[in-house]
Structure formats: structure tokens, C-alpha cells
Amino acid sequence: MDPMIRLILAQGMLGLNNGVFYAMLSLGLAVIFGLLNVVNFAHGALYMLGAFLALILYSNLGPWLGLDALHIGFWPALVLAPLMVAGFGMLIERFLLRRLYKLDPIYSLLLTFGITLVLQGVFINFFNASGTPYPGMPDSLKGVVNLGFMMFPKYRLFVIVFSIIVCFGTWFIIERTHIGARLRAGTENPELVKAFGINVPLMVMLTFGFGTGLAGLAGVLAAPIYSVSPLMGANLIIVIFAVVVIGGMGSILGAVVTGFSLGLIEGITKVFYAPASNTVIFLLMVIVLLVRPQGLFGKHG
Amino acid sequence: MSTQTLTKPMLKIEGLHAWYGESHVLHGIDLELAEGQLITLLGRNGAGRSTTLRSIMGMVDRREGSILINGEEFITKPAHRISPDARIGFCPEERGIFASLSVEENLMLPPTVGENGMSVEELFEMFPNLANVRKRMGTRLSGGEQQMLAIARILRTGARLLLLDEITEGLAPVIVKTLGRVIRDLKSRGYTIVLVEQNFRFAAPLADRHYVIEHGEVIDVIEAADVEASMDRLNHYLSV
């Protein structure tokens, strides 16, 4: 194989690996924004929370309980941590966000920004700011796979496949099922949906839980790849917002496709001009904002 | 006269006040109707007719007074319990068809509120136009199709009390005629109906009683039998 093509494919795979996190996080943001009209600034912090919960379940819970042998591993954490983050999200919605719906959206943005700072502060206080590696990667996902053009870590391949399934599943639920139809209707005209006898406040709470749960899930998936640190979400959330702007605010399909594509573009940019790989997304954002301000998949307005 | 013989009203509203934010829009509405009856709410734009329906559905910021449905008080119920507990089907102004939902999804959206709702097949029989567009998205329907869908989807739920807001607005005469047939059919099947209507010629032959609303109050009640004798009054109320 031509070394150049080989390099492009290899960087593309690594880029795609970042892209899955862009896709999953912007998907959660899109789901939340669609129904609640809330820009959840705390999304990055909830991603970080998911990663920390996985770490705590593995390394800290046992010693805290005095059971040194207790290590709750990756697979249980993959279920438990997102559920815990979703539960935390639902508490935020029920007791904090719900009070702000009648006010300007800037208030909910400020609230979620505040939650971000609190969460980061708490974790910097109890852990350190520099990051801790996650030791719980399952043995079955250790090692590498030969993709023909590169040796690719088995775990990263798992993350890519798993995320694609999660993203597609979410898209399917929202666009193709009865529950999704209620959600879409609620996005358009919550008042009428309520008048039909659907408990919209409950639906809103569960949706926020689902969106934040996705962030938590992304956090668990990220834990074995990146080191678990209180600021891991803060670094990512800026890119995520760029993804959301490019894809179109509130568009489910837009979030997924844009997330994966931008990861790829970022990776491939590394082949040609590595220093630009961090800025290429923002460059694209500027272009999209100038040419198509509603985003690639967004509707007018 | 039917009002005098009304022993057990299905819907009885007394002293209904409603607010949107700070603005006080209903100033004590009183009305009642028995099972199987059809009443209209007449009046000029902004008189409070739609708001009366929206208040029954809990779609206003604040409401006071009394709304009895089959003897049960609904004034303090949360909005999402009203339709299921009172078996109401609400067809809002401008039809309320969801653009991001297909015809079928719109049809299946409202939860069932009682037994004996019409089946999808029956509904497509009643509204044959809809059968041909069942996969189409809500926005890509004509006004008439949207209106038929808006009525069909509440008939599916098993609702017995129908609140219909301006169903003929902006529709071609031939469709208005079809809707007239549908309403008459529904009445003969025993549905109880409140019709907010601008088109008096459409409403007159269907109604048992007319309530004239102005500035958020009922200013006149005219029985169907007295319409002929009250035409001057009615013309005065409804003239723009």
C-alpha cells in the first residue's frame, strides 16, 4: 500500500476515535436542546463525572468501604456510571433547571456553567488536577488488531463500534419509534402534547437524564483511553460546541454525522499539516456560520 | 326547551376566569351542555372563545372558577390529567399538526383516554383522503387534510367530549361541507361537542344552543329554536 494512503487511513482511524466522543456528546446536547431549549454547558463536566465514576468504582469504592479486594470493573461501570450520571442529571433538571424555563435561556446556560465549575472544583479538591489513569480496562479488549494498514488498539476499535451502535440506536428511537414521536411533538408544541394527556414535565426530566446519561457513557468509554482528570470535559466541550454549531443546533442526525466527520477531518489534517489539526474544526465553524448560519443539518431560525 | 330539561350536564362551567401572564382574559364564563348536545361559542376575534377552550384544557397560565365534567371538578387538575380523566378530545386553533411527525405518527400521538375509540381503519373510512397520505409528513398536507387529521386523531382516543376550535377556518367550501357532514355524523353517534366557530352558517344547523362571548364574558345565550327570531341580535354581535 502506498505509504501516504496508509498514513491517511491510520490518522483517519485515530481521528474517528476522537469523532465518536464528539458524536456522542453533541448527540446528548442535541437531544437536550431539542426538547428543553437548554444549552447544557455542564455536558463536559458530566462526561468527566462518568469517567470519574468508572475510576471510583474500580479504585476507590473498595478502600472507602474497607473492602480492599472490591474492584467494580469496566463492564458493570459501563452500565452503572451512565445511570448514575443520568440520575444526577435528572436531579439537576427537577430541582434547578425546571425553575428557569420561563426565563431567558441565558439563565439555564449560566446555571449549567455554574454546575460545571462546582463539579470541576469538587474533583480537583478530592483528586488532583493532573489526571489518573484508569486501570480497569478489561483483558478481553487489551492488545491490538491488524487492520491491514495499521495495528489498531482493540479497545479503541470497540469504542468506535459501540458508539456507532449507541448513536444509531438513539437516532432510531427518536426518529422511528412511538416514544420518539412524542419527543418530537414535545419539541414542537409542548403545550398541546400536554393537553393530549402526556406528562411533559416527566418526559423532559427523562430526556435530560438520557442526554446526560450519554455524556456519562462517553466518559466511561474515554476513561481507559485518556487519563481521568477534572478538566477532561472542559477541554472537550469547546470542540463539542463547535460540532453542534456546524451540525445545526438540535439536529440529531447533524450531531452524529458532524461528530464523526469532524473527528476524521481533524485526524487527516494531521497528515498534511499537524499544527492545524486543533484549529481546523473552528475554521470550519467560521465558514459554516458565514455560509449557512443554521448549521449543515439545521432548520431555519 | 333543552336548557330547562338539562338535569345532569356533562360539562358545566361557572364563573371561569383565566389569565395569560398578567392579562386577565376571561371574566366569568358560565355555560353548560348535556351529553350528546352540541353548543357553539360565537363572538368576534379576541372575545375569549378559544381561550375558553384552552382554559378547559388547562392551557392558560392561571384559571379560577369551576369546571365540572360529569360532576367532577377539573379546575385544579394538572394539564396532562385533564384529557384522560375527562375523556376530552381537543382540536386546537390552526389544527396543531406536528410538522416533524408523519400522518400516522400524528394520528397515534394522543394517548387513549377511553374505550370505544375509532380504529384507524374506521377513521380512514371517515376521512378517505388521509388513507392516501399516511406516510407523509405533517407539514406536507393541505389545510383540509390537516384539519381532518386533527379531528381523526382525537376520535381515535375514545374521547366523548370534543372541543373543536375554528375547524372551518381558511378551508374551501367543499371541505367545509364535508366537515359539516362529519360533525353531524359524530353528533348522531352521541358525541358531546363544543364548537368555536366564525362561520355561523356552518354552525347554525348543527347546534342545540349558541353562546355569544364578548370581552371574556357570555353576553347572550340563544337556543337553536330561537335563532330565526334572534337574527338581528346575532348579526349585531357578529358584525365586524
Instruction: Quick: pLDDT tens for A202-257.
Output: 999 999 999 999 999 999 999 999 999 999 999 899 999 999 999 988 789 999 99
Q: Which of B57, B109, B157 sits opposite A181 (nearest CB)?
A: B109
CB contact under 8 A, A192 and B99: no
Structure confidence by residue, pLDDT tens digits, A86-140: 999 999 999 999 999 989 999 999 999 999 999 999 999 999 888 999 999 999 9
Q: Which of B99, B105, B111 sits opposite A196 (nearest CB)?
A: B111
Chain B CB contacts of A187 under 8 Å are: 100
Do the Cβ atoms of B168 and B199 come closer than 8 Å? yes
pLDDT beyond 50 at B1? no
Q: Name every residue whose Cβ is closer than 8 Å to that of residue A227 and which is 6 or more positions away in sequence.
A: A131, A132, A133, A134
Chain B CB contacts of A191 under 8 Å are: 59, 79
Average pLDDT over residues B61-66: 96
The fraction of chain A above a pLDDT of 70, given in percent, is: 99
Taking each helix axis from N to C end, the angle separating A178-188 and A200-222, rounded to the nearest 10 degrees, works out to 110
Distance in angstroms (rounded) separating the CA atoms of residues B60 and B29 = 15
Distance in angstroms (rounded) separating the CA atoms of residues B139 and B149 = 12
**Single-letter amino acid code for the residue at B42:** L
Distance in angstroms (rounded) separating the CA atoms of residues B192 and B92 = 17
**Single-letter amino acid code for the residue at B160:** R
* Domains observed in chain A: 3-291 (1.10.3470)
Q: Which of A188, A194, A200 sits opposite B98 (nearest CB)?
A: A188
CB contact under 8 A, B83 and A195: yes
CB contact under 8 A, A181 and B83: no
Do the Cβ atoms of A256 and A167 come closer than 8 Å? yes
Q: Which of A188, A195, A198 sits opposite B90 (nearest CB)?
A: A195
* Nearest chain A residue to B109, by CA: A182
Average pLDDT over residues B45-51: 94
Q: Tell me, what's the pLDDT at B3? A: 47
Band of pLDDT at residue B203, cut at 50, 70 and 90: very high
Average pLDDT over residues B56-79: 96
User: What sign results for the dihedral spanned by CA atoms A282, A235, A243, A221?
Assistant: positive
pLDDT beyond 80 at A60? yes
B26/chain A closest Cα distance in angstroms: 19
Q: Tell me, what's the pLDDT at A278? A: 86
Chain A CB contacts of B80 under 8 Å are: 194-195, 197-200
CB contact under 8 A, A185 and B111: no
* Nearest chain A residue to B58, by CA: A195
Put simply, whether the predicted model's pTM sits higher than 0.95 gets the answer no
CB contact under 8 A, A195 and B92: yes
Structure confidence by residue, pLDDT tens digits, A251-291: 899 999 999 999 999 999 999 999 998 899 999 999 999 99
pLDDT beyond 90 at A169? yes
Distance in angstroms (rounded) separating the CA atoms of residues B28 and B219 = 11
Q: Name every residue whose Cβ is closer than 8 Å to that of residue A98 and which is 6 or more positions away in sequence.
A: A201, A204, A205
Q: Tell me, what's the pLDDT at A287? A: 96
Q: Tell me, what's the pLDDT at A69? A: 85
Nearest to A194 by CA among B96, B175, B51, B214: B96
C-alpha cell recorded at residue A284: 470550519
pLDDT beyond 50 at B12? yes
Q: Tell me, what's the pLDDT at A109? A: 95
Full 3-state SS string of B60-103 = CCEEEEEEEECCEECCCCCHHHHHHHHCEEEECCCCCCCCCCEH
Q: Could you say which DSSP state residue B115 is in? A: S
CB contact under 8 A, A197 and B101: no
Q: Tell me, what's the pLDDT at B6? A: 52
Nearest to A25 by CA among A212, A180, A269: A212
Q: Tell me, what's the pLDDT at A300? A: 57
Band of pLDDT at residue B139, cut at 50, 70 and 90: confident
